[in-house]
Amino acid sequence: MLVLLNSKIGILLINLGTPDTPAVADVRKYLNEFLSDPRVIELPLILRWLLLKVIILPFRSKKSAAAYNAIWQDGGSPLLINSIAMKTQLQILLGSQYKVALGMRYGSPNIASAITELEREGLTQISIVPLFPQYASAVSGSALQEAIQIYAKNKIITPFKIISEFFDHPEYIKSLANSIQPYLHDNHEFLLMSYHGLPEHQLINPGISCYRTKCLQTSNLLATALGLPATKWGASFQSRLGKLPWIKPYTDEVLIELRERGINNLLVCCPSFTVDCLETLEEIGIRAKKQWQQLGGAKLELIPCLNDHPDWINALKIIALH
């Protein structure tokens, strides 16, 4: 991007969010905000309210709090810590002619505070970058809707552009491959790429340009970049809830299939997440690892997300500005 003299460019990074603490009350507050979003639970208002208040919050808050407690760090939430590190390193790389701000769709720091931070800088343009490689209405769409609605209230609207996804961007694939390559030791027999799942009814243009298709495209591009034959990798979807059908294949069921094939040493990466969080550290790093051991597997190793990996920070710069 050509930067004009005396101009300053802003970058708004948006991540999903996190409770302030792993205490049950804070987790309940976070879940209430998150699951009240009509893009997340696609039900009429009264049905969504009943599901949330009568079933989900009373029974899930304590369980989720225990999961957060299992991965909470001295400095706080891993998602927030890693997101701030990413923002900080991107700011250092870009220098003073740019301003990088971070907002969470749910929880704090929220998108409104990040936009206020950017507006103080007298910017000439802003790039809005949800940190979700594959577009989905429930995450990318919700984040972009919130940001645009906040901007729409301003008397003067700074010109902005939207980076809605980057699942097949060459720099994203390259940085992801570079972060995974050191883990491809001879004793690892298989690489499982586990993506966050969605209910099947939330897929837009199923089989053509939907979230699932984009995840599989990311997997194929990543496998090619890593030089992996088709027998050495696979893709699956995690985090399903409730009884409605979600995107298949399910990660927990794929683990069973891999053990039946005789796989003992398994690598798992999570390409739908750019930073480590509850879904990577607890769901895969703890629960899936325990399942693997119970199935008789020798080793399940979770590969860290991109976080503030130097190659990813450089890729993020290119994605946001070009």
pLDDT in tens, 268-314: 999 999 999 999 999 999 999 999 999 999 999 999 999 999 999 99
Burial class (CB in 10 A: 0-12, 13-18, 19+), 95: exposed
- Compute the 3-state secondary structure of the chain and give helix, strand, coil in percent, each to the nearest 5: 50, 15, 35
pLDDT band at 112 (very low <50, low <70, confident <90, very high): very high
pLDDT band at 205 (very low <50, low <70, confident <90, very high): confident
Provide the 10 A C-beta neighbour count for residue 216. Answer: 16
pLDDT at 2 over 50: no
**Averaged pLDDT, 181-198:** 93
Burial class (CB in 10 A: 0-12, 13-18, 19+), 127: buried
Residues contacting 61, CB < 8 A, separation 6+? 24, 27, 28, 31
What pLDDT, on a 0 to 100 scale, did the predictor assign at position 107?
96
- Which tens digits make up the pLDDT trace of 32-42? 999 999 999 99
Alpha-carbon distances, residue 316 vs 3, 56, 313 (angstroms): 17, 36, 5
Location of structure tokens 């400095």: 75
pLDDT band at 154 (very low <50, low <70, confident <90, very high): confident
What pLDDT, on a 0 to 100 scale, did the predictor assign at position 6?
57
- Which tens digits make up the pLDDT trace of 113-145? 999 999 999 899 999 999 999 999 999 999 999
Spatial contact of 274 and 53, defined as CB atoms under 8 Å apart: no
Is the peptide bond between 19 and the residue preceding it cis, with omega within 30 degrees of 0? no
What pLDDT, on a 0 to 100 scale, did the predictor assign at position 130?
98
**Averaged pLDDT, 168-189:** 95
Helix (H, G, I), strand (E, B) or coil at 110: strand
What pLDDT, on a 0 to 100 scale, did the predictor assign at position 222?
98
Provide the 10 A C-beta neighbour count for residue 225. Answer: 16
- Record the tokens describing residue 44, joined without a space: 């009429």
What pLDDT, on a 0 to 100 scale, did the predictor assign at position 5?
47
> CA-CA distance, 30 to 277, in Å (whole number)?
15
pLDDT at 62 over 80: yes
102 φ, ψ (degrees, to nearest 5): -125, 130
pLDDT at 197 over 90: yes
Containing 82, the helix (H) or strand (E) segment is helix 78-94
Spatial contact of 111 and 14, defined as CB atoms under 8 Å apart: yes
- Which tens digits make up the pLDDT trace of 227-251? 999 999 999 999 998 788 999 999 9
pLDDT at 1 over 60: no
User: Can you give the pTM of this predicted structure?
Assistant: 0.94
Containing 101, the helix (H) or strand (E) segment is strand 98-106
